[in-house]
Structure 1
Amino acid sequence: MYVIDKNKHYFLNDGILKNGFNSKLTIIKNRDSVLSGFSKMAFLFDEIIRLRIVSYSNQKDNKELLYLLNLVPVNRKIRAFLDWGVFSPEYTRNMSRLFEVRNDTVHCVSLDEVRYNPKTPISLSSVNGFKKFKTDMCKAWDDLLKIYLNQQANIDWIALSKEVKIKP
């Protein structure tokens, strides 16, 4: 389970609490950094789906759901969030455009080969192109954290505390 409390993020797994991601997404102009940012977003997508379907559970159904989520393409998850009313149409479009960059980045050697298409195509190799991409990506991350907090608000913390014993 992923938990956000104010600006602190935590992973809770089998009763062990560990530090999570930073509240601010840091992206530098290299392939690994860009892919790392997308991995964090995709992780939160899966967490939102898991919270909506099975809430928090260490049971077999939770592990099976996470297995299935790994098989579902990100663009289908983004569409499901639109259908469920979790993402607005505008945010869905923005996420789809951003994740096109992810797909291109996975299949390239360098960011010089990647284009971002917010309104018109721009190259990530240009200073202004990368700046626009980074600004949009960080804004999408901030919005995704707010969406996650909204979903997290539905957790029954009392029931969770009875099921999970935090280990030091």
Structure 2
Amino acid sequence: MKKVLNPDRQAGSERNQEPRLVGDILSEMLQSNSPLASGYRQHQQVYPNTEPGVDLKLLTRQPGRIPLGSYLDGAITRDADDHFLFIENATYKKRNDVQQRNPHVYEGVYININRKPDGTIYPTFCRPQFNERLTFAEFCRRAADELTQVASGFAYGLGEEK
């Protein structure tokens, strides 16, 4: 027994009652007026737009054509009525050139200690996933214990003096 998405239409191809592609079934379902389809369209707010006969220039980090099925991060701009420009993000280059603004002196489970460019240090709290075993109160207790341990470590030469 076959499931029918649209009661007016039979599942499978119309000629041979063969199976259809999942993408075809989903697109048919999402174009219908069912409550699920209309809710999906309102939630996603996807507006397909096809631009016929346009000039597209791609500025990429690798020479040559883009391999089939690959994705690029970047931005596309519309320069004129029939011209678009895509510029690929240089994410790998940025990661190598970025210097951490306030580096960690200490990375703990509940707190981190950072150092400003002028040499002063300050604590920050980690963001835990609270659950039945780790409540907010328990997190505060454990962070206080870790702060106490770090403070005694700094007294022995890890950063500041007493």
Normalised by the size of structure 2, how large is the TM-score?
Answer: 0.21
The structure that is helix-richer by fraction is: 1
The structure whose Rg is larger is 2
Q: TM-score, normalised by structure 1?
A: 0.20
